[in-house]
Structure 1
Amino acid sequence: MLRIKKLDIFVLKSFLLLFSGTFFICLFIFMMQFLWRYVDELVGKGLEISVLAQFFFLSALTLIPLSLPLAILLAALMTFGNFGERYELLSMKAAGIPLLRIIRPVVILCVFLGAMSFFFQNIVGPKAQKKLWTLLVSMKQKSPEVDIPEGIFYSDIEGYNIYVKHKDRDTGILKDMLIYNFSDGFDNARIIWASEGKMELTADKGHLFLHLYDGEQFENLKSQSAISKNVPYRRETFREKHVLIEFDTQFNMVDGSFLDRRSDIKNMNEIAEAVDSIQCYADSVGRSIYKDAMQTTYRTTTTLPKKETDETAEQQTALINTDSIFNAMTSTEKLSTLTTTGNRINSLVSDWTMKSYLTKDADGSIRGHISDWHKKITLSLACIIFFFIGAPLGAIIRKGGLGMPVVISVLIFVVYYIIDSGATRVGKSGEMNVALGTWMSTIILAPLGGFLTYKSNKDSVVFNIDVYLAFFRKVFGIRTERHLFRKEVIIQTPDYQKAITTLDEICAACEGYSRTHRLLGPPNYFKIFTNNEHDDKIQQISQQMEDEIEDLSNSKDGVLINLLNKYPQLSVKAHKSLFDNRWLNLLCGLVVPVGILLWLNIWRYRVRLDKDLKTIVKTSRALQERIKTNLDNNII
C-alpha cells in the first residue's frame, strides 16, 4: 500500500503552490511574445471576441510544452531556495534525510508533467497547431475595417486609393475626397473628386457604399480606341453620385489543407509515415535525374565493338585524344567549338541547378520532420532536466522569492534556448546530424543537472566564491595580506623575553637558508622534475613564524601589531617540484614547451622566496627593537 508521508505532502504542497503561479506567468509571457510577432497584421481587422478568444486558446495549447520546463525550473529554484533560506532544508538534512529523498515526490511529479508534455505535443499540439495556423491565415486575409486617415492615401481596398483631406468625427462627413479607381487596370483608370462624401457598409457587409456630393469624375477610355496616340477620356460633373465598391469584411475560415505538408501539425506516427513517403519521392526523383543524366549528358560517349568471346559481345569505350583534335582545327573552328562548349556547359549548369532544387527541398523537408519528431521527446525530457538543475541550485544558493531565482532561471533558459535553436537550425540545414542537433541542448544540460544534484547532495560548496578565489590565487601565485587588529579582550599576555629569542632563531634560520640555497640563480632543470621531496626547512620556518605571530597578536601595542602585518605568507611548495608524484613531475619536464614554462615559474617563486626571507629578517629585527624599547620603558 502506498503511504505518503507528511514530508512528501509538505514538499509537494510548497512546490505546487509556486508552480501554479510560475506556469501561468511563463505561459502568459510566451503568448505575448507570440502575439507580438503578428500584432501588426491583426490590428484594425475588427475581429470578434469569439475569434480572438479562439486564437488565444489555441496559442496557449501550443505553448504549454514550451512553458512547462521554464515554470518547473523557476518553481524548483524558488521552492528549495525558500527551504534553504528558512533553514528548513538544513533541518531535514540534520534529521538524516538526504536531498534525494527530499526531492523524490517532486521528481515523480516532474516525470508526470514530462509525460503530460509529451501527450500535448503528440496528441493535442498537432491538432491545435493546425487550427491555429488556419485561424491565423484567415485572420490575415480578412479585410480591415475601413478607417481612412486624414492627409494620407488609403490603399487597403484592393484596386482603389482614397485620399481625404479632412474628417468630421461627429457627423462622419469626409471633405475634399480624391478616389483613384484602378480595378480595370492602370490604362483604364478612373479618378473621382468630391467636395464632400460619406461612407457606409451594406447590410451584408460585402460592399462599401459611397455617397459623393459636388464633384467631378475623369475616366480614361483607352480600351475604346484602337489608336494608342489618340486616347479619349470622359469628364463628368455631378451634384450627387453613389458608388458601390466590392469590399468583403466578413470573417471567413480558409481551408487548412494547404498546411498538410508542415511537420509541426503531425504526431510521431504521421511524421514517420511522411518521412517514408518523402524519402520514396526523393529516391524516385533521384533515379529520374540519374536516368536523364545518363541519357542526355553522357549519351555522346563513343563506343567501339570488341571481339566476341564466350558468345558475348561487349562494348569498349574508345579513347579519343581531344587535345590533338582541337590543335588540328583552324582558328574559326576553335572559336566555334569553344563557344558551343561554353553554351553547352551553361545550359547544363542551369539545368542541374534547377534539378537540385527538387532534391534540396525534399532533403530539407525530411530533416525538418525528423527534427520535430525528436523535439517532442527532448522538450518532455527538459521538464525533468530543468528540475534537476533548479532544485540543487535552490538548495545551494539558499535564496527564495522572485529575485535571484528569476535571474538564474532566465539565464539558464536563455542558454538552453540558444543552444537548442542554434543546433537545431544547423541540423536542419544539413551541416550536422539532425538528431544530434535536436538533442544537443539535452546532451549539454543533462550532465549539468547531474553534477549540481551530486554536489548539492554532498553539501559541496559550488558557489562559494572564496573557494574559487583561493584556487586562482594558488594558480597565479597571488597572496593575501595579513589583517591583524588589536584585540579587545586579551586572555594570555605574550612572553616577550621568549619572543626575542624566537625571533633571533627565525632570523638565523632565514639567513642560513639564503646562504645555502642560491635562490636568485636559475634552478637545476633536472632536479626540479626528478625530485618530489618537500622543503622541510621552509616548512619549519613558516610554522615557527606563524606561531610567534599568533602569540604576539595578543599584545596591546598597536605599533607591534602593525609590524606583524608586514610578515609575508610563505609558500612552502611553490619553489620546489610541482607534484608529489615523481613520474608526474618527470612527464611535465619531458614536454619541452610546458616544462620550460613551469621551470621559469618555479624560478619566479624562488626569487620571491628570497625576497620574503629578507622581509622576515627585517620585520623580526624591527619587532625586537620595539619589544626591547617597551620593556625598557615598562610599557608592557
Structure 2
Amino acid sequence: MIKKLDKLILSSFLGPFLLTFVIVVFILLMQYMLKYFDDFVGKGLGFHVFAELLSYFSIVMTPNALPLAVLLSSLMTFGNLGEHFELTAIKSSGISLVRTLFPIFIFTLLLTIAAYFSNNYIVPRAALNAYSLMYDVRQQKPALDLKVGAFYNGIENYSIKIDEKKSDGETLSGVMIYDHTRKSGNTDVILADSGRMYPVDDGGYLILELFDGNRYSVAQESTRKSRTKNNIKPYVRSSFKKSKMVFSLAGFNFDKTDKKLFSSNRLMKNIKQLQRDIDSMKTEVKDVRYQAYNFANKSYAHHLREQVSIPEDLVKVRKHLDSIRAVRDSIRRFEADPELAERVKEREIEETNKTTNTAKANDSKTSPTKLSANKKIETKNLKKTAATNKVNNKSKTPVTVKAKPKIKSVSKPKPKKPAPAKKKTPVKKKMPVYTIDEALAKADSLMGTKNKMLPAVRHALSQARSHKNSLGIQVNKLIERETEIRRHAIEKHKKYALAVACLVMFLIGAPLGAIIKKGGLGFPVIISIMFFIIFYVINILGEKWVKQGLMDPVAGAWAANVILLPFGLFFLRQARNDARLFEADFYSVFVSKLKKRFNKSEGE
C-alpha cells in the first residue's frame, strides 16, 4: 500500500517538475539573451552557433531555475492532490502528511546533492564556454549585405553605395565607392555605371568588377608647383572601361578565441579554485600592508619619536613570498638558459665528490693500524724521558744558600687626601618666551632669508605629496583586493546556498499546496512567483551588501534560505493541523474570537 502511494506521489510530481523546469529555464534564458539581441542581428551566424550558445547559457541558468521549479511543481502536485480529495483519503487511511511528503523529500534531497555537484563542476565549464563564445559573437563583424541607397561601411577603409541590385545577387548598377586608404577624407571617389560582385577562395576574398567609370582623387604634393594660386589641391580624373578591386574578408570569418583568457573570472571556477584565489589574495593583502609599514619606517622615521614596528605575521608572509619569488626567478633562469641547469648539476656533483674524497682521507688517517703504531712510539718516548730525568737527579749536588740579612722598613708618612669639593647646584635657566611674530622671526633667522627658505618649503611639500600619493596607491590596492576577496567568497558560498534552496522551496511549496488545495497553473503560479521574487531580491541585496563591505559573505549568501526556512516550517505545521490559511472563513473566525475577547475585557 505504502509503495503504491509513493509511486503515485512521485509520478504526480515528476511530470510537473520537468515541465516547470523547462519553462523556467526558457524564461530566464530569454530574459538574459534579450540584452545581447542587437549583437546577434545581421552577422550571418549559423544555426550551430546559436544552438551552442543557448545550450551553454541554459546550463548556466540551472542554479536559479531549480529552486523555482521545485517550488512550483511541489505546490501544483499537492494542490492537485488536495483538490481531488486524494490527500483527504490518504489522511483518513491513517497516513500522516509528513509520511506523504517523504518520497518527494528524498527526491529533492538527491536533487540538492546533484545541484551542488552541477554548480561546482558543470556550471563553471558551461559559463567559460558560454561567455567566450558570446565574446566571439560580439566581436564578429556584420555580414556583407549591400543595401540599395545606403552606404555600407563593413569593409575597412571603404564606403560603398549602390543604386540597384539585380535578382542574381551579383550584378550591381550605379556604384559609388569612397576610398579612405590614404586617410585623407572623402577625396578619393570611384563612380561606375555597373559592376559585378562575387566571392572567391571559399569566401576569403571578395572581387568587385566595375565597368564604365571614373576615378577622382586629389593629386599628391610632390612639388610646390602642384598647388594653384588659391592654394587649392588639383583633382585628377582617370576613366576606365573595366576595373577590378579585391577585398579581404578575413575579418568576417567567425574565429574562436582561446578560452584560457576568460578562465580567470570567478564565475568560471569551482570551490577549490575560488578558495585558492582567496588565500593568494589574502597573502597579497598582507604583503601590501608590509610594504606600507616598511614605507612608513623609511619615510617618517626622521620626525617620528617612536619607530613603527612591523607585526610578526606580516614579516613571516614577506619571507615566504620572497622565497617563492626566488624559486620562480631560478626557474625562469633555467628556462631561459638550459645550459645553466647542466652547469649547476656539474658543480653539485663536483662538490659531492670533494666531500666524499675528504671524508675518505680522514678515515684513512685514523685507521686502527696507524693508531696502534702511534701509541707504541709515544710509549717509547715516555720511557726515554723518564730515564734521563733519573740520571739528572742523581748527578745534582746539594747547594747551600746563605740567608740575607733582614732590613728594617721605615714607614713613610701617608699623604693626606684633599677634602672633597662641594658640588655646585646647577642654576636652571629660564626659557625665553616668544610671541608668534618673534618665533617666526627667530625661525627666519635660523633658516636664513626668505629666498633660501622657499626651496626648503617646496621640497618638503613635494615630498609630502609623493608620500601621500604612494600611501593612497597602497590603500587603493588594499580596497580592490578586499572587494575581490568578498566577491570570490560569496560566489563560493552561493554554490552551496543555491543547492540547499531546493529543500527550502520544497518545504514552502508542498505544505502550501496541501493548504490551498488548488492545482493547475493559476493560483499556485502566483504564490510561487511571489516567494521566488522574495528569494531573488534577498539574494541580490545580500550580494550587493557583501560587495560594499556591509555584510559578511556567509550571511549574504545564506540570508534568503535563513529567512524563508521559518515560513516553510510554519506552513508545514499549519498543513498538519489542517489549517485554512487561504479561506475567508478562517479569518472571520479569527476576527470573531478577537472580538469576543475584547468584549469580555471591557465587561470586566
Q: Could you tell me the TM-score, scaled by structure 1's length?
A: 0.65
**Deviation digits for residues 581-610 of structure 1 (CA, Å, limit 9, x no counterpart):** xxxxxxxxxxxxxxxxxxxxxxxxxxxxxx
**Cα gap change, 1:343/1:109 in structure 2, threshold over 3 Å: closer, same or farther?**
same
Do the aligned partners of 2:493 and 2:553 also contact (CA within 8 Å) in 1?
no
Do the aligned partners of 1:396 and 1:462 also contact (CA within 8 Å) in 2?
yes
Indicate whether 1:464 and 2:462 are aligned: no
Aligned partner of 1:442 among 561, 564, 586: 561
Q: Provide structure 1 residue ranges, at least 5 long, that are not aligned to the other structure.
A: 306-320, 478-568, 578-636
**What's 1:79 paired with?**
77
Indicate whether 1:201 and 2:199 are aligned: yes
Do the aligned partners of 2:68 and 2:505 also contact (CA within 8 Å) in 1?
yes
**Cα gap change, 1:225/1:439 in structure 2, threshold over 3 Å: closer, same or farther?**
farther
Do the aligned partners of 1:81 and 1:395 also contact (CA within 8 Å) in 2?
yes
Do the aligned partners of 2:189 and 2:215 also contact (CA within 8 Å) in 1?
yes
Deviation at 1:456, TM superposition (A): 1.1
**What's 2:386 paired with?**
none
Indicate whether 1:573 and 2:576 are aligned: no
Deviates more, 1:8-17 or 1:245-254: 245-254
Do the aligned partners of 2:507 and 2:572 also contact (CA within 8 Å) in 1?
yes
Do the aligned partners of 1:111 and 1:384 also contact (CA within 8 Å) in 2?
yes
**What's 2:481 paired with?**
362
SS of the equivalent of 1:572 reads: helix
Do the aligned partners of 1:225 and 1:231 also contact (CA within 8 Å) in 2?
no
Indicate whether 1:408 and 2:435 are aligned: no
**Cα gap change, 1:65/1:439 in structure 2, threshold over 3 Å: closer, same or farther?**
same
Do the aligned partners of 1:11 and 1:105 also contact (CA within 8 Å) in 2?
yes
SS of the equivalent of 2:42 reads: coil
**Deviation digits for residues 366-389 of structure 1 (CA, Å, limit 9, x no counterpart):** 222111111110110111111111
**Cα gap change, 1:377/1:171 in structure 2, threshold over 3 Å: closer, same or farther?**
closer
> Which one-letter code corresponds to 2:203 in the other structure?
K
Note the 1:324-363 alignment, pairs <5 A. Answer: 350-363=469-482
> Which one-letter code corresponds to 1:86 in the other structure?
H
> Which one-letter code corresponds to 1:211 in the other structure?
E
Q: C-alpha separation between the residues in 1 aligned to 2:216 and 2:116?
A: 64
Note the 1:190-589 alignment, pairs <5 A. Answer: 190-219=188-217, 234-248=236-250, 249-296=252-299, 298=300, 301=303, 350-468=469-587, 572-573=599-600, 575=602
**Deviation digits for residues 328-383 of structure 1 (CA, Å, limit 9, x no counterpart):** 56998999888777766665555544444433332232222111111110110111
**Deviation digits for residues 8-65 of structure 1 (CA, Å, limit 9, x no counterpart):** 1110110012112111111222222232222211222222233222222222222222
Q: C-alpha separation between the residues in 2 aligned to 1:473 and 1:333?
A: 94
> Which one-letter code corresponds to 1:263 in the other structure?
R
Do the aligned partners of 1:275 and 1:369 also contact (CA within 8 Å) in 2?
yes
Deviation at 1:149, TM superposition (A): 3.0
SS of the equivalent of 2:599 reads: coil
Q: C-alpha separation between the residues in 1 aligned to 2:222 and 2:481?
A: 51
Q: C-alpha separation between the residues in 2 aligned to 1:184 and 1:349?
A: 48
Q: C-alpha separation between the residues in 2 aligned to 1:455 and 1:134?
A: 49
**Cα gap change, 1:363/1:303 in structure 2, threshold over 3 Å: closer, same or farther?**
closer
Deviation at 1:302, TM superposition (A): 6.9
SS of the equivalent of 2:61 reads: helix
Deviation at 1:230, TM superposition (A): 7.6
SS of the equivalent of 1:30 reads: helix
Do the aligned partners of 1:187 and 1:222 also contact (CA within 8 Å) in 2?
no
**Cα gap change, 1:395/1:184 in structure 2, threshold over 3 Å: closer, same or farther?**
farther
Do the aligned partners of 2:78 and 2:514 also contact (CA within 8 Å) in 1?
yes
> Which one-letter code corresponds to 2:238 in the other structure?
E
Q: Provide structure 2 residue ranges, at least 5 long, that are not aligned to the other structure.
A: 308-433
> Which one-letter code corresponds to 1:418 in the other structure?
V
> Which one-letter code corresponds to 1:210 in the other structure?
L
**Cα gap change, 1:270/1:163 in structure 2, threshold over 3 Å: closer, same or farther?**
same
- Percent of residue pairs bearing the same amino acid type: 32
Do the aligned partners of 1:192 and 1:218 also contact (CA within 8 Å) in 2?
yes
Deviation at 1:204, TM superposition (A): 3.3
SS of the equivalent of 2:30 reads: helix
SS of the equivalent of 2:160 reads: strand
Q: C-alpha separation between the residues in 2 aligned to 1:182 and 1:202?
A: 24
**Deviation digits for residues 382-406 of structure 1 (CA, Å, limit 9, x no counterpart):** 1111111111111111110111111
Q: C-alpha separation between the residues in 2 aligned to 1:60 and 1:292?
A: 51
> Which one-letter code corresponds to 2:501 in the other structure?
A
> Which one-letter code corresponds to 1:239 in the other structure?
K
- Give the number of the structure whose alpha-carbon radius of gyration is greater: 2
**Cα gap change, 1:360/1:474 in structure 2, threshold over 3 Å: closer, same or farther?**
same
**Deviation digits for residues 138-166 of structure 1 (CA, Å, limit 9, x no counterpart):** 22223321113344333333333333444
Do the aligned partners of 2:216 and 2:235 also contact (CA within 8 Å) in 1?
yes
Q: C-alpha separation between the residues in 2 aligned to 1:59 and 1:111?
A: 25
Q: C-alpha separation between the residues in 1 aligned to 2:185 and 2:509?
A: 68
Specify which structure has the bigger relative contact order, considering alpha-carbon pairs within 8 angstroms and separated by 6 or more residues. 2
Q: C-alpha separation between the residues in 1 aligned to 2:121 and 2:12?
A: 31
**Cα gap change, 1:301/1:241 in structure 2, threshold over 3 Å: closer, same or farther?**
farther
**What's 2:421 paired with?**
none
Q: C-alpha separation between the residues in 2 aligned to 1:35 and 1:170?
A: 35
Q: C-alpha separation between the residues in 1 aligned to 2:233 and 2:469?
A: 44
Do the aligned partners of 1:84 and 1:394 also contact (CA within 8 Å) in 2?
yes
For these two proteins, the number of residue pairs brought into alignment is 467
Do the aligned partners of 2:42 and 2:142 also contact (CA within 8 Å) in 1?
yes
Deviation at 1:571, TM superposition (A): 6.0
> Which one-letter code corresponds to 1:389 in the other structure?
I
Q: Could you tell me the TM-score, scaled by structure 2's length?
A: 0.69
SS of the equivalent of 1:461 reads: coil
SS of the equivalent of 1:209 reads: strand
Q: C-alpha separation between the residues in 2 aligned to 1:380 and 1:400?
A: 26
Deviation at 1:169, TM superposition (A): 4.5
Q: C-alpha separation between the residues in 1 aligned to 2:284 and 2:306?
A: 37
